[in-house]
Structure 1
Amino acid sequence: MTPVNQVPLISRFGVPGLYQEPYTSHAVTVDGNSRLTVTAGVVGRNPDGSAPDSLAEQASLAMDNLIAILSAAGAGPRDILILNMFVVDWTEDQFPALQPAFGKLLQSDGGPGFPGSLLVPVKALAYPNLKFEVQVIAALPGRVRSWQKESALSRNDAPPRQVDVAIIGAGFSGLQAAADLQKAGFSTLILEAKDRVGGRSYSLPLASGSGLVELGATWINKDTQPRVAELARKFNLDYLQQYMQGDSLIELEDGTRLRADSENATETPDAPEFGAAIAEAAGAFDAAAADIDLEKCTWAEQDCTLEEWMARKEFSPTARAFTQLFVAMLIGGNVAEIGAHYFLDYIKSQGGFESLASDGPKGAQNLKIKQGTSAIASGMASGLTPGSILLNAPVASVRQDGSGVRMLARNGLEIAAKRAVIAIPSNTYSAIKFSPPLPRGKAALVSQTKGGMYYKVIATYSKPWWRDLGLVGKFLSFKGPICFSWDISDPEASQYSLAFFVAGRLAVGFKDLPLFEQEQAVLNHLAALVGPESAHLAHDPLEVNSIVWPNEEFFHGAPSSFMGPDLLSKYGQDFRAVFQHLHFGGAETAYEWKGYLEGALLAGARVAKEVAASLGGGK
C-alpha cells in the first residue's frame, strides 16, 4: 500500500573536521517521497529585459526573481537543496556585493536552511551585460504544489510520450501482447502499477538459505499448457516434478481426519462416502460443463448460484461440502456467491475436473519451475525494447477521442497511443476513470466481478519431516484455517517448504487477524493435523513467508476474479469486445486456461492480433 507519510526526510549536514563555509552545507540527502523543482539559470533582469549595471543590483534582482519562481512552484528558499552561483570576473573582495542578495534569501520563508552551494567564477554569461546567475534544486513534500490561475503561468509542459500501443499491466498477458506487437513492428509501452513484472507470478528468494518459494502462480504442465512450457524452454529454465509419494491428510467438518491416496482421493478406505462424494461432484461438473459454449458464453441450463445448482442436482451433503472446498481451492470463491455457469465454464476452460485436480502428467499441478515462474516474466520483459516497461506507474485515467487514446498515470506521466490494451484483473478496472465510460454491458460485468479470497502462507523447514510420516504434503480441511496445501520443495537446493492456502469462506474471519497471528494460526492447525507426536516439527520452521492477496494493491484477490449468477450469460460477449480504441486482455479473458499463466499468454496473443489488425496488420 502507498505509505501514509509522504514527507521527505531532508538532511543537510557538514562533515566535522572539514572546512566550513557560511550559509552552506557539505551535502544534502533526500529520503522518501518528494517532488523536485529544478530552476533554469535565473538572472537579474527586469520584465522588459533590462538589467542593472552593478553586480550587487543584479544579484539582488536575481534573488527576487528566484523567490518568485520558487513560489510559483509551491516552494520557497527553505526548500532549496542545491544553490549554484555563477559570477563574471569574480574576486574575493566582491563578497560584500553579494551579501544583500543572500540577505533576501535568509529573510524570506525562514531562509534557505544551509543548502549545498557552489560559486563558479566565469569569463562571461550568455549576454555581455550580465554579471550574476543563480540556479537551484529544491525538494517539496510529496506532490505538494501551489494553486495558480490558469493564466498566471506560462505552461511549457512536455508533449505526451507517443507510441503505437499503450498497455496497462506487465503480467503475462500484457508482456505477451507487447512481445507480439513489437515483433509485428509496432512501438509499445507497458505501464505497470507494481514495482515488478509478472502480475500474480511472484517468486521470492529465501532468506534462510538457497532456493525460492512462490507467493503466486506456481505450476505448469508441459503438455497441456504448451505456450508457457515453450517459454520455459526458451529461457533455459528447469522443471521440478511435483512430489506425489505418500498420503493426503483430510479433515472433515466434524474434525474426523482421514488419510487418502494423494492421486486418487475417491479411494478412501476409512471413509468410502468421501470418495464417493468426490466422484459424484466431478461427474456432475464435467457433464454440465459439456453443454457450455466457451466462445459464445452460453449454457443450456438456467443460471443460479453454485449452491442453488447443487440443490437442483440433489448433491449429497458430503458432495456439497467437497464442492465448497474445491471452489475455494480453484478460485477463492464461495458457492453462495459464484455463478454456476461461470464455475462450470472455468472448469471446462481448464480441460475438466481431472485436469484441475491432478498433479499427474495431465494435471495442472504437474511441474514447478526451479528458477520460479517470475523468471519467465523476467525473460519476456528482457526481450522487449529497452525502456518499454514503466514500473510504479498506475494509470489514473484513460481518455479516447478520434485520434486514439490518452493515458494519464498517477505520477503525472501522459501517454498518447493509437490503441490501448487493458491487461489487468477486471475487478480493478474501477480504479481507472474511462472517458467515455465503458459500454453498459462491459461496465456491468467488471463492476460486479470479485477477486478471490486467497491467503498463502509458506513454511520452510530444514528437512521434509512430513515425508518421513508417509505424507505427500497435501492437507485438506473443511474446518480451516488451512483449506489445502502442497509440498513445493526443491531437494537439490535443500529447500523444503509447504504452501498453505486459506481461501474462500474460511478466509473471511482470517483476514482480520494480524499477519503474525495468521501465520501462527496456520502452524497451529498443521500441528493439530499431524498429531501431538509430530506437532513440534510443525512449529519449527526456518522461516515463514506469506501474502494476503485480497490486500495486495492493484490485485485485490487471487488466483482470479469470479462472477455471480447470470453475468456470464448476459454480458460474457461484452467482456472481450473492443471498445473504440481499447482492447481487453488478461487471464480472465482467455477461452482456455482461464485464470492460469497459460490463459494469460493466450489472451495476450489474442489481443495482440486484434490490435495489429486494427492498425493495418504490421509494419
Structure 2
Amino acid sequence: MSLNMFDPVDVVVVGGGLSGLVAARELQAAGRSVHLIEAAAELGGRMTGQRVDLSGPGSAVAAPASSPWVDLGGQWVGPTQTRFLALLERHGIRRFESPHDGETVLVFGSTRCTFAGFFQGFPEGQPPAVPSADWDDAMAALERFQALVEELPEGHPHHHPAAAELDQLSFQEWIDANTHTPFAAWYFAYFCRAVGFLGPAEPEQVSLLHVLWGQRTAAQGEHPEEELLHGGAGQLPALLAADLGEGVVRLGEPVRAVSQLEPGGPLQAASGVPDQADPAGSGPTAAHPVVVHTDKAVYPCRAAIVAMPPAQAAQLRFSPELPADRLELQQRMEMGACAKVLVVYRTPWWRQQGLSGIAIGDRPWVELCADSSDPESGTGVLAAFVVGHRYARWAPLDAEARRQAVLGDLATYLGPQALEPVAYVEKDWPAVPFVGGAYAAWMPPGLWSRCGDAMRRPHGAVYWAGTEVAERWPGFFDGAVRSGEEAAAAVLAQLG
C-alpha cells in the first residue's frame, strides 16, 4: 500500500472535537502551520446536532432547512463558562434562557409531586413534597459533602493532602456512611448520574475524590445549564473548521500511531506500525521530530496535540512507549454510559399544565428530562437521558421497546401527551466509533492518586487536550475550549 507523505507542518492535532478545533485555531492565529486529523467522517465529536423532520413519527437526517435543530451531544452554557461564551460571541451564535417557567416534577417511588424548585448538586427554590425527615437527611449530608468540596484547591485534586484517603473511597461508600433514608441516598446517586463532569457514572464506580473535584471545578451552583443556543451547539464545529481554511482538516482518517525522537536517544518508529506505514525517509528527524501515522498518510511535524478522551487515546501506538501511569490512565478512565433522546412535539404542551418540562425521579429508564425548546421554532423539545445501569438494560432492547421505555417514563412525569411525539431521535453515545460514550470520562477509586500527573504531562513533544484534561469546567464545552487553548499555548512555548 502506498501512503501519502505530507509536507512537514509545525503541529498535527489529532482529534476534531471542540478542543482539537480550538487548539488548531490558536496555533494558526500564532502563525503556525497545522494539520487537524479526525477519524470520523464529520467534525465535532460530542458536539453535534441535526435537523428533525416534523412530517410524522421518526426523524430524518436530511430534513428541510426550515426544520428545527436538536443537539445530540452537549447543548447548554452557563454564565461563568467564559471561554466558551467568548467563542460563541466570536461566531455570532445567539443564546436564549433555558425554559424553566412552571413547576418541576419529582417522581420517587409511588409518589409524584410538583414543586417550584430544583435540585442537582444544590437545592434551589422550594423543596419537593417529600417527608421532612427525608429532605433534612439529604440536606445534612449535602452540607458535609460541600465542606469536603471546599477543602480542595483549584486545579487537579491529587496533590491535596487528603487526596489519597478520599480517592480510595467510592462515592457509594460515602453515601452509605452519610445518608440514612432511601430518598437521601437516591438524591446523591441521581446527582452522580445526572451531572456532566461525572461521566455519568454509578456511585459505586467512581472515586469520591473525583466527585468532590468535579463539584469544586464545575459547580452546579454556577448554573451551567442557564442558556441554550439558537440553532444548536452542533453548528459550531463547521464554523471553526471554516476558520482554518482549505487543506488543514483531514476527515475519515483514524490515526494509528505517533512516533518521535527520544530525547538523547536514537530515532524510533512507532511500535507495531506496518512497514509500509513508515517508508524510508518518513521517520522523525531533528527538524521534525514527531511523525503521525494513519492508514492513508504520514504527517511529519514539530509537535503534536492529541485531543481525544483518554480511552480513545489508548487505541494509538506511541514510540517511545508511554509511561506506565499514562497507560493505566488510558486503560481505566472509562467514558460515561449515556444515551441522549430528543423527543419533539408540535408545541411545548406541558406549559399549559403549569409545568417547566423539567422532571426528575427514580423511574426505570429516565431519571432526568428538560425542556430544550427553541422559542423561535414554536415546537416543543424534551431532552431525556438514559444513563449508567439504566443504559446497560436499555441499549440491548429493540428500537420500538427503547422508544416505548423512554416515552412511558416521560408520560409518568408529564402526562399522556408525552406518548405522541412528532419526532423521536436517539443518540447512543457508547456505540459511536471514536467517541465511545458521554458526557465525559470518569475516574474509579485510586486512579487520581496513582495517575493524576499523567493527565496533563506531555510525552516528549506530544501534548494532551480534551474536556477531561481541563482544570476548570471539565466535562463541559468550556473545559474543552480551555484545554484546547492551554495545549496550544504549551506547544507554542515549546516551539519558541
Please state which band the TM-score falls in when normalised by the shorter chain. Answer: 0.7 to 0.9
CA 380–426 in structure 1, closer or farther in 2 if over 3 Å, else same: same
- Does residue 433 of structure 2 align to residue 553 of structure 1? yes
Q: How does 1:436-455 map to 2 (within 5 A)?
A: 436-455=320-339
Residues 202, 340 of structure 1: alpha-carbon distance in 2 compared, 3 angstrom cutoff: same
* Residues in 1 aligned to 2:314 and 2:180: alpha-carbon distance in whole angstroms: 37
Work out whether residues 138 and 185 of structure 2, in 8 Å CA contact, stay in contact via their aligned partners in 1.
Answer: no
Tell me how far apart the structure 1 counterparts of residues 142 and 111 of structure 2 sit (CA, whole Å).
23
1:173 match: secondary structure: helix
RMSD: 1.9
Shift of 1:479: 2.9
Please tell me whether residue 334 in structure 1 is matched to residue 202 in structure 2.
yes
Secondary structure (helix, strand or coil) at the match of 2:395 reads: helix
CA distance in 1, matches of 2:375, 2:359: 20
Aligned to 2:369: 485
- Structure 2 distance, partners of 1:431, 1:277, is 45
In the other structure, the counterpart of 1:586 is: 466
Give the Å deviation of 1:435.
2.1
Is the 2:137–2:179 contact (alpha carbons within 8 Å) kept by the matching residues of 1?
no
1:354 corresponds, among 205, 221, 225, to: 221
Distance 1:370 1:431, change over 3 A: same
8 A Cα contact 1:266 1:278, kept in partner = no
Q: SS at the partner of 1:509?
A: helix
Residue aligning to 1:168: 14
1:200 to 21, 46, 63: 46
Corresponding letter in the other structure for 1:261 = A
Aligned counterpart, 2:117: 262
Name the CA distance, whole Å, in 2 between partners of 1:591 and 1:497: 32
**1:291: how far off?**
2.0
Q: Tell me which residue corresponds to 2:84.
A: 228
Aligned residue for 2:94? 238
CA displacement at 1:448 relative to structure 2: 0.2
Residue equivalent to 2:404: 520
Closer, same or farther: CA 417–425 of 1 in aligned 2, 3 Å = same
- Give 2:107's aligned amino acid: E
**Displacement, 1:495?**
2.2
Counterpart of 1:510? 394
Q: 385, 388, 397: which is aligned to 2:248?
A: 388
Q: Distance between the aligned counterparts of 1:488 and 1:317, measured in 2?
A: 30
Aligned to 2:291: 406
Distance in 2, matches of 1:322 and 1:545, equals 28
Shift of 1:227: 1.3
Q: Which residue matches 1:320?
A: 185
1:457 maps to which residue?
Answer: 341
Bigger relative contact order, structure 1 or 2 (CA pairs below 8 A, ≥6 apart) = 2
**Superposition deviation, residue 474 in structure 1:** 1.3
Q: Report the CA distance between 1:296 and its aligned residue.
A: 5.4
Q: In the alignment, is the contact (CA less than 8 A) between 2:305 and 2:463 conserved in 1?
A: yes
Could you tell me how far apart the structure 2 residues matched to 1:449 and 1:502 are? 20
Q: Deviations over 1:316-352 (max 9, x none)?
A: 43222111111111131001110011111111111x3
Q: Distance in 1 between matches of 2:3 and 2:434?
A: 29
Query: Structure 1 residues 318 and 289, CA, compared in 2 at 3 Å: closer, same or farther?
Result: same
| Letter in structure 2 aligned against 1:323 | F
Q: Which amino acid aligns with 1:488?
A: S
Distance of aligned partners of 1:312 and 1:399 in 2 relative to their CA distance in 1, 3 Å threshold = same
In structure 1, what is the Cα distance between the partners aligned to 2:330 and 2:193? 21
2:475 alignment counterpart? 595
Distance 2:156 2:33 in 1: 30
Q: Secondary structure at the match of 2:139?
A: helix
TM value normalised by structure 1: 0.69
- Matched with 1:70 is none
Partner of 1:368: 228
* Superposed displacement of residue 505, structure 1: 2.2
Query: Aligned partner of 2:366: which letter?
Result: I
Change beyond 3 A, Cα 1:329–1:353: same
**Aligned counterpart, 1:177:** 23
Whether 1:377 aligns to 2:262 is: no
Instruction: Kindly state the Cα deviation for residue 377 of structure 1 after the two structures are TM-superposed.
Output: 2.4
Deviations 1:384-440 (A, max 9, x none): 132211111111111222532222223x22111111101011111222122222111
| In 2, Cα distance between equivalents of 1:192 and 1:309 | 40
- Mapped contact 1:457–1:519 kept (Cα < 8 A): no
Aligned to 1:561, what secondary structure does the other structure show?
coil
1:298 paired residue number: 159
In the TM superposition, residue 279 of structure 1 has moved relative to its aligned partner by 2.7
In structure 2, C-alpha distance between the alignment counterparts of 1:162 and 1:550, rounded to whole Å: 35
1:203 CA displacement: 1.7
CA positional deviation for 1:375: 2.3
- Relative to structure 1, is the Cα distance of residues 214 and 280 closer, same or farther in structure 2, using a 3 angstrom cutoff? farther
Report how many aligned residue pairs link the two structures. 447
Hey, what's the Cα distance between the residues in 2 that align with 1:575 and 1:255?
44
Distance 2:312 2:240 in 1: 24
Q: Is the 8 A contact 2:189 2:203 kept in 1?
A: yes
Q: Distance in 1 between matches of 2:177 and 2:142?
A: 16
Give me the TM-score of the superposition, normalised by structure 2.
0.86
Q: What does residue 172 of structure 2 align with?
A: 307
Alignment gaps of 5+ in structure 2: 55-65, 119-123, 263-284
Counterparts of 2:157 and 2:128, CA distance in 1? 39
Is contact 1:268-1:274 (8 Å) kept? no
Question: Aligned partner of 2:70: which letter?
Answer: V
CA spacing shift, 1:565–1:270, aligned 2, 3 Å: closer
Residue in structure 2 matched with residue 44 of structure 1 by the alignment: none
**1:93-127 deviation per Cα after TM superposition (whole angstroms, max 9, x unaligned):** xxxxxxxxxxxxxxxxxxxxxxxxxxxxxxxxxxx
1: CA distance, partners of 2:470 / 2:492:
18
AA aligned opposite 1:420: A
What is the distance in 2 between the residues matched to 1:224 and 1:576?
23
Q: Deviations over 1:494-523 (max 9, x none)?
A: 221101101122222112112332122101
2: distance between equivalents of 1:486 and 1:378?
A: 27
Displacement of 1:277 in angstroms is 4.5
Residues 336 and 441 of structure 2 are in contact (CA less than 8 Å); yes or no, is this contact kept in structure 1? yes
Indicate if the aligned counterparts of 1:479 and 1:506 stay in contact, CA closer than 8 A.
no
Aligned to 2:485: 605
Structure 2 letter corresponding to 1:218: Q
Counterparts of 1:278 and 1:391 in 2: how far apart (Å)?
Answer: 48
- Counterpart of 1:210 (choices 46, 67, 84) is 67
Higher CA-based Rg: 1
Provide the C-alpha distance between the structure 2 equivalents of 1:218 and 1:297, rounded to a whole number of angstroms.
30
Structure-1 separation of matches of 2:426 and 2:457: 36
| 1:467 maps to 2:467 | no
Matches within 5 A, 1:106-145: none
1:574 equivalent in structure 2: 454
- Counterparts of 2:157 and 2:205, CA distance in 1: 23
Q: 1:387, 1:558 → 2: CA distance? A: 30
* Paired residue type of 2:68: G
* Percent pairwise identity: 26
Distance of aligned partners of 1:571 and 1:423 in 2 relative to their CA distance in 1, 3 Å threshold: same
Instruction: Give the distance between the partners of 2:137 and 2:372, measured in 1 at CA.
Output: 28
Segments of structure 1 that go 5 or more residues without pairing to the other structure are: 1-144, 146-155, 356-362
